[in-house]
Structure 1
Amino acid sequence: MGGDTQEGEFVFIYTTLPSMAAAEALGRALVAEKLAACVNIHPGLRSVYVWEGKVAVEDEVAGFIKTRAALVNEAMARLSALHPYDVPALLVLPILAGNTDYLEWARRQMKA
């Protein structure tokens, strides 16, 4: 898919959260502070991991935070401050391209 993005201009920050309420609070803060154009919240995850030496199985929700690469450091710092987990997964994923009208809208939602 083509689009008018410069390679690396936009990224997703992926994270998991313990509840829809926590994800919505985090999403609202990032969007209100113009650190994200949009936060997609996906319920219904089941995560299996080791924590404090024990295997844990927990229900979680995923958050896909659409932001500018130039805002990643500021967004990650804010996410770290807001996130309810002691060690949150905050993973940056590239967005290679997108449709022009969406990308233009996204640019207007965030800090320059």
Structure 2
Amino acid sequence: MTVLTTVDSAEEAAALARTAVEERLAACAQINGPVTSVHHWRDALETSQEWQVLFKTTEAAYPALEARLTADHPYDTPEIIATPVVRGSERYLAWVAAEVKAG
């Protein structure tokens, strides 16, 4: 499974990534950015730069990863989206499973 979130700085992205991997809630995390986000927030159209963090994890560890991201995230309403991995390299997926310790 992959889990995506966005934050407003490279430093925040690195902190979330580091904590999740250190706590073995994710096998790895990739930071991309800046990306431009356009969205409504509090009745106004916003355009901002954000950094995306993509976590590689397991379904069993998702609840603990979501809880950690929610607790540490700088946004009041963070984007936390999980996507199942329907296919992948058997060796890579085995590595992810071995690295992640479920909640």
In the superposition, the TM-score normalised over structure 1's length comes to 0.86
- Stretches of structure 1 that go unaligned for 5 or more consecutive residues are 1-10
| 1:16-61 deviation line (CA, Å, top 9, x unaligned) | 1111110010000000000000111111210011111111100001
| Cα distance in 2 for residues equivalent to 1:27 and 1:101 | 22
Task: State which of 27, 31, 40 in structure 2 corresponds to 1:37.
Answer: 27
SS in 2 for 1:101: helix
For the residues of structure 2 that align with 1:99 and 1:59, how far apart are their CA atoms? Answer: 33
Taking only the aligned residue pairs, the percentage that are identical comes to 36
Find the partner of 1:49 among 22, 33, 39: 39
4+ residue runs of structure 1 moved beyond 2 angstroms? none
User: 1:102 pairs with 60, 80, 92, which one?
Assistant: 92
Q: Is 1:67–2:57 an aligned residue pair?
A: yes
Give the Cα–Cα distance (whole angstroms) in 1 for the partners of residues 94 and 63 of structure 2. 22
Q: Which residue of 1 aligns with 2:78?
A: 88
Structure 2 gap ranges (5+): none
Superposition deviation, residue 77 in structure 1: 0.6
Quick one: higher RCO (CA 8 Å, sep 6+), 1 or 2? 1
Q: How many residues align?
A: 102
Partner of residue 77, structure 1 = 67
- Separation in 2 of the partners of 1:83 and 1:73? 15
RMSD: 1.0
**Residue in 1 aligned with 2:12?**
22
Larger Rg: 1
